[in-house]
Amino acid sequence: MQYITGIESYRGTARTAVTLGKFDGLHRGHQKLVEKIREYAADGCESVLCAFDMDRDCIMTNEERRSHLEGKIDWLIRYPFTRELREMEAEDFIREILFRKLRAAHVVVGTDFSFGYGKRGNADMLLRYAEEYGYTVDVIEKEKYGDRVISSSYIREALAEGDVHLAEQLLGYPYEMTGIVEHGKQLGRTLGFPTMNIEPQGRKILPRFGVYACRVRVDGKWYAGIGNAGIKPTVTDEHKKLLEVFVFGYEGSAYGKEITARFCEFERPETKFASVEELKEHVMGDIRFGEKYFGL
């Protein structure tokens, strides 16, 4: 897979099957679009996904999106939402980007896809110009979970409530946080349960502040663990968002290593305790919760 930033970096020469959108999370609805362009690619054209970068807190980082799509499509284009793109007329986008630049043979979009200045372009406009510019259009119906449409907004709601089970059902894969372990105040080590601290990468959303049972990958191996997502209000006033994890059975130093924490089960909300001793008492309870959850 070729991964590039900006449409101006695209150098492909083959006819393409293109899908476009924000693709925040690459949830189950997005995956239907990806599967469709892959079907067309099997017939001889190249598959292209254009992900508009909206510069906001996100469910998935650019690197995570790249990892999820590796080996599945031919081109992943990170398309910054620049002033030029915002002000481009919808027909100009069809002619200059889809027709001339991407040489689109097939365009695949969701029912609510919009583009161009003032969002004047939509699926109907793509269909109107399809014959003139020589492409077909597939308008893919929304995927539902129960009676509700799966969307990035729905996933954000689930994460805000700490409902990581629902988030996983909507995404089609577990919600995770990856980062480099950084040095903290080593309070956990002092209290007898050393932890690993990571910052959310690339403005990725932390789920509801609180304690979770987690799976933690260190050095390529998965461990059971307990994680606190939040700002650690008992021991600091910095209001710095962190994920702090205690990993069962891990020995050695993880400082400077990249780890991934997979959220499995919400236990309790983050709380500001009256003392470090009260904090320690609750953390011991969190550890017992983790031991029971993972059957340790």
- Summarize pLDDT for 41-73 with one digit per residue, the tens: 998 899 999 999 877 899 999 999 999 999 999
Query: What pLDDT does residue 170 have?
Result: 98
Query: What pLDDT does residue 11 have?
Result: 92
Residue 99 scores a pLDDT above 90:
yes
Query: What percent of the chain stands above pLDDT 90?
Result: 76
13-27, 184-198, 204-218 — which is least confidently predicted? Answer: 184-198
Q: Are 97 and 103 in contact, with CB atoms under 8 Å apart?
A: no
What number is the average pLDDT over the span 17-28? Answer: 95
Residue 231 scores a pLDDT above 80:
yes
- The CATH homologous superfamily to which domain 174-294 belongs is Riboflavin kinase-like (2.40.30.30)
Q: Which amino acid is at 98?
A: L
Closest-CA residue to 246 (of 194, 168, 183): 194
> Mean pLDDT, the chain, as a whole number?
92
Other CB atoms within 10 Å distance of the CB of residue 116: 19
What number is the average pLDDT over the span 207-228? Answer: 96
Query: What pLDDT does residue 219 have?
Result: 93
Identical fold between 2-148 and 174-294: no
Query: What percent of the chain stands above pLDDT 70?
Result: 95
Residue 97 scores a pLDDT above 60:
yes
Grade residue 92 by pLDDT with cuts at 50, 70 and 90. very high
CATH topology of domain 2-148: Rossmann fold (3.40.50)
Q: Are 197 and 218 in contact, with CB atoms under 8 Å apart?
A: no
Per the model's pLDDT, the better-predicted residue between 134 and 237 turns out to be: 134
Query: What pLDDT does residue 238 have?
Result: 67
What number is the average pLDDT over the span 255-279? Answer: 89
Per residue in 167-204, pLDDT (tens digit) is: 999 999 999 999 999 876 655 555 667 889 999 887 89
What number is the average pLDDT over the span 207-222? Answer: 96
Specify the DSSP element, H or E, that contains 50: strand 46-53
User: Residue 136 burial by CB count (10 A; 0-12/13-18/19+): exposed, middle or buried?
Assistant: middle
Closest-CA residue to 228 (of 292, 167, 171, 273): 273
Q: Beta 16-21 vs 46-53: how paired, if at all? A: parallel
Query: What pLDDT does residue 275 have?
Result: 76
Query: What pLDDT does residue 190 have?
Result: 58
Query: What pLDDT does residue 15 have?
Result: 97
Query: What pLDDT does residue 54 have?
Result: 75
Distance CA 120, CA 122 (A): 7
Q: Are 33 and 108 in contact, with CB atoms under 8 Å apart?
A: yes
Distance CA 5, CA 37 (A): 20
Q: Name the residue ranges covered by the structural domains of the chain.
A: 2-148, 174-294
What number is the average pLDDT over the span 227-246? Answer: 81
Per the model's pLDDT, the better-predicted residue between 117 and 188 turns out to be: 117
What number is the average pLDDT over the span 65-84? Answer: 93
